[in-house]
Amino acid sequence: MHKFPLAVIGAGVIGRTHIERILKTPEFALVGVAEPSELGRQWCAERHIPTFENHQALLEATRPQGVVIATPNATHVDIAADCMARGLAVLIEKPVADSLIAAERLIQLEKDTGVPVLVGHHRRHNPILQKARQIVTDGRLGKVVSANVMANVYKPAAYFDVAWRRQAGGGPMLINLIHDLDMLLFLLGDVRAVQGSLSSAVRGFEVEDTGSALLEFACGTQAVMTVSDTTVSPWCWDFCAGEQSQYPRQNVQSHFLSGTQGSLSLPDLALWHYPGERHWHLEMTREQSSLHEIDVYVQQLRHFRAVAERRETPICSALDGWRTLQAMQALLHAAHTGQRQSCPAFKP
């Protein structure tokens, strides 16, 4: 298999995660990185990566077949438009955009140019989640009645030295819970309505330190989610799924689905059901799936290549990114107004 040439735009936290994966995976070649900051370009130069001050210069000078966009949310769609005008497939970091209008522009660009877009909700590439989705669609849980999700962590004081992390939009709802929200959309389909509540009572910043959400899915499932960055707790996907080495792994579960025929916990993929009659006085059986561990970011890049080469359709399309962003925005609005918010379907 020939090396697939990739470019990366933005060499910050997640940009470097992508760069490191591209460099260590033989089927990819890194043709260059666009990064305005001196510090970021220096990090690249130390790795002998050609660097450019902006994405236009990068696109002029190199010949990638796919571009990873890992810049601040507000820049995602403008940069994607420039790549797509050149026929280059894009992997855009989550959230897809900073507004639904910008995400809708991206959906239109995809239609007009025929160039595919993959949104970087990387957890969808985890085989655990894909197996869970299979269990749900195979009907092993019957009708999924409820879902419970916890995303509770402790971030140290120094994390908040950066001003935007203390301000609206910089909190755990948009940074962390959006991943869990996307997982539920992947497992259960469209959200119909949401209610939410936010609190900043512990840290006292403008931004929330804690939030809770009640989601009603079109399939009828009700989900309850909590997130906090001020709790000493192991109950968070990042800790128990082992996707990133900076989080010490904990042998606990963070996501629970309960159905009329069975229940499933994640990430351990324990499936609980009654072997015969369903009755709360009877013993339940616990079935376990075991899976090989993979690097979800490498898996995402492999899928991106297949999308760019038109061999696969995006596991998280621009429209999927829009749906997740819509549900999160509705949740934030619901929390601020105290009103239940509906999530109407996308209308082209």
324: exposed, middle or buried (C-beta count within 10 Å: 0-12, 13-18, 19+)?
buried
- Residues 155-194, mask of contacts with ligand NAD (x by CB under 6 A): ----------------------------------------
Provide the residue type at 257 as one letter. Answer: L
> Which 77-106 positions form the footprint of ligand NAD (CB under 6 A)?
93-94
Judging by DSSP bridges, how do beta strands 222-228 and 285-288 pair with one another? Answer: unpaired
Q: Which of 305, 346, 258, 4 is nearest to 125 (CA)?
A: 305
**Closer by beta carbon to ligand NAD, 13 or else 157:** 13
- Residues 7-36, mask of contacts with ligand NAD (x by CB under 6 A): --xxxxxxx------------------xxx
Q: Which of 132, 110, 70, 13 is nearest to 320 (CA)?
A: 110
Residues with Cβ within 8 Å of 157's Cβ and at least 6 positions away in sequence, in order, are none
d(CA 12, CA 232) in angstroms, rounded, equals 27
- Residues 266-285, mask of contacts with ligand NAD (x by CB under 6 A): --------------------
* Least distance from ligand NAD to the Cβ atom of residue 298, Å: 14
d(CA 233, CA 223) in angstroms, rounded, equals 20
* Least distance from ligand NAD to the Cβ atom of residue 208, Å: 17
* Least distance from ligand NAD to the Cβ atom of residue 90, Å: 13
**Closer by beta carbon to ligand NAD, 75 or else 258:** 75
* Least distance from ligand NAD to the Cβ atom of residue 238, Å: 9
Residue 61 interacting with ligand NAD (CB under 6 A):
no
d(CA 158, CA 273) in angstroms, rounded, equals 45
Provide the residue type at 137 as one letter. Answer: T
Q: Is 8 helix (H, G, I), strand (E, B) or coil?
A: strand
Distances (CA, A) of 42 to 37, 39, 46, 120: 9, 5, 6, 25
Angle at 58 between CA 55 and CA 62, to 5 degrees: 145
Q: Which two tokens stand for residue 260?
A: 């009329």
Residue 71 interacting with ligand NAD (CB under 6 A):
yes
Residue 70 interacting with ligand NAD (CB under 6 A):
yes
**Closer by beta carbon to ligand NAD, 45 or else 284:** 45
- Binder of ligand NAD out of 20, 37, 56, 137 (CB under 6 A): 37
**Closer by beta carbon to ligand NAD, 37 or else 134:** 37
**Closer by beta carbon to ligand NAD, 178 or else 335:** 178
- Residues in touch with ligand NAD (CB under 6 A): 9-15, 34-37, 40, 54-55, 70-73, 75, 93-94, 120, 122
